[in-house]
Amino acid sequence: GENVEQHPSTLSVQEGDSAVIKCTYSDSASNYFPWYKQELGKGPQLIIDIRSNVGEKKDQRIAVTLNKTAKHFSLHITETQPEDSAVYFCAANTLGGGADGLTFGKGTHLIIQP
């Protein structure tokens, strides 16, 4: 089955700086890669996703890149703000493969220092 590795487990950046979180996956059949933000006591919130037919996707201060050959994808947050502090999870699955449960990484605690 799929295995997703995520790092770093904790990331502290100064407000205004950029943050990058990286994930690798093992199953070359995976074709859908969402990112979720989870605040304390809440459910995960989908913030951006990418399919394997594109290499990059951007939404305001958030971007995701995908390298299918190397089987890794990354989340980039620019101009970080205090409200970006949360736990971020990457995930992967194979759409249309019959089993559509997401496989998650273990999460990154992002801390924005004022």
Partner 1 sequence: NAGVMQNPRHLVRRRGQEARLRCSPMKGHSHVYWYRQLPEEGLKFMVYLQKENIIDESGMPKERFSAEFPKEGPSILRIQQVVRGDSAAYFCASSPQSYEQYFGPGTRLLVL
Which is nearer to partner 1, 98 or 114 (by Cβ)?
98
Phi and psi dihedrals of 63, rounded to 5?
-140, 150
CB of 38 to partner 1, least distance (A): 9
Residue of the chain from 13, 22, 27, 49 that contacts partner 1 (CB under 8 A): 49
Residue of the chain from 18, 26, 45, 113 that contacts partner 1 (CB under 8 A): 45
Residue of the chain from 19, 24, 44, 66 that contacts partner 1 (CB under 8 A): 44
What is the torsional sign of CA 32, 94, 23, 105? positive
